[in-house]
Amino acid sequence: MMVQSACNVEANGAAGQESAAYAVVLEDVIFRWPGQQAPTLAIPFFSARQGEQVFISGPSGSGTSTWLGLIAGILSPDSGAVRVNGVRLNELGGAKRDIFRGDNIGFIFQQFNLIPYLSILENVLIPCRFSPLRNERACAQAETPLAEAKKLLERLDLSASLWRKPVNKLSVGQQQRVAAARALIGKPPLLIADEPTSSLDADRRKAFLQLLLGECRSLGASLLFVSHDQSLAEEFSTRTHLPDLNRAAEEVV
């Protein structure tokens, strides 16, 4: 399973040498929801370099979720190419896309990121259980995935005294940091954060963002950060307003 996906990375990387330097590339992507005439998304081009941290804004309903779905390989475009880490997702079958996603992408959602019946450490370790590649990378970072999970939690300001708590006893901010540790474990090359700060209060947002950015930087992971909150935008070198990219939106207007 792991060997296969590694091969894919190489094969695709060789095909488009220049795209290997990019974490995400979208080319001429058109996407329609089934049964709809007008495309929801029509993106001529978008790219994010490896290690780049991109702030994406867009009002709700502007297609940010659809856009993330395309990059995550949950949705397939009607035409065009979506490349993540040099691999063209639409060329992979459903099961391989699932494996690829597990190996290469970490996710943080708005809220309720944690599984209530697992401990904090078990929550962080989930990706290592499903992806042998991330398990291996976590072992390379620390002795064991468990050691790596503890290290990440500590770096995200969650001290060992909290680890025994049931996850639903944590504050929302703490929960989001556990989610961040889970997204980061096993060094996925790409992190997707879908409004991860919107359930935090204002002063917590900055702190959370700083921690996340710092960790992504030190692990060399690219970050796609979707948010309405323009006050956070200044922390990012690259900022993108999705409606500006999306030709489909223009046509509708």
Partner 1 sequence: MRCFRYLLFLAGKSAWNRRGTLVLIVFSIALSTTLLLGMEKLKTQIRESFVQSVSGTDLVVGARGGDMQLMLYAIFHLGGATNNMGWDSARSIAERDEVAWTIPISLGDSHKGYPVVATSNDFFDHYRFRGGRQIELAQGRRPEELFDVTLGAETAKKLGYALGQKIILSHGNSGTHLTEHGDKPFAVTGLLAPTGTPVDRSLYISLEAMEAIHINWRGGAPVPGLRITPEQAARFNLEPKSITAMLVGLKKRSQVFALQRELNEWKAEPLTGVMPGVAMDQIWSMVDTGERALLLVSALVTVAGLAGLAAAILAGLGERRRELAILRSAGAKPLDILTLMACEGGLLVATGIIGGFSVLYLLVAAISPLLADNYGIFLYLSLPSAGEWALAGGICLAGLAASLIPAFRAYRMSLSDGLTVSL
- The residues that touch partner 1, with contacts defined as CB under 8 A, are 65, 68-69, 72, 74-75, 94-95, 98-99, 101-103, 107, 109, 112-118, 126-127, 129-131, 134, 182, 194
Query: Nearer to partner 1 by C-beta: 107 or 225?
Result: 107
Closest-CA residue to 192 (of 78, 99, 104): 104
Cα distance between residue 45 and residue 34, in whole Å:
23
Rounded to the nearest whole angstrom, what is the least distance from the CB of residue 129 to partner 1 in the complex?
4
Query: Nearer to partner 1 by C-beta: 111 or 238?
Result: 111
Helix runs in the chain, H state only: 2-15, 64-72, 94-104, 120-130, 132-141, 145-155, 172-184, 202-219, 242-245, 247-252
Rounded to the nearest whole angstrom, what is the least distance from the CB of residue 224 to partner 1 in the complex?
13
Rounded to the nearest whole angstrom, what is the least distance from the CB of residue 53 to partner 1 in the complex?
20
Query: Nearer to partner 1 by C-beta: 125 or 248?
Result: 125
Rounded to the nearest whole angstrom, what is the least distance from the CB of residue 2 to partner 1 in the complex?
12
Cα distance between residue 163 and residue 152, in whole Å:
12
Rounded to the nearest whole angstrom, what is the least distance from the CB of residue 98 to partner 1 in the complex?
4
Query: Nearer to partner 1 by C-beta: 83 or 101?
Result: 101
Query: Nearer to partner 1 by C-beta: 101 or 205?
Result: 101
Q: Cα torsion at 64, 66, 108, 185 (round to 10°)?
A: -130
Cα distance between residue 71 and residue 67, in whole Å:
7
Beta bridge partners of 46: 26
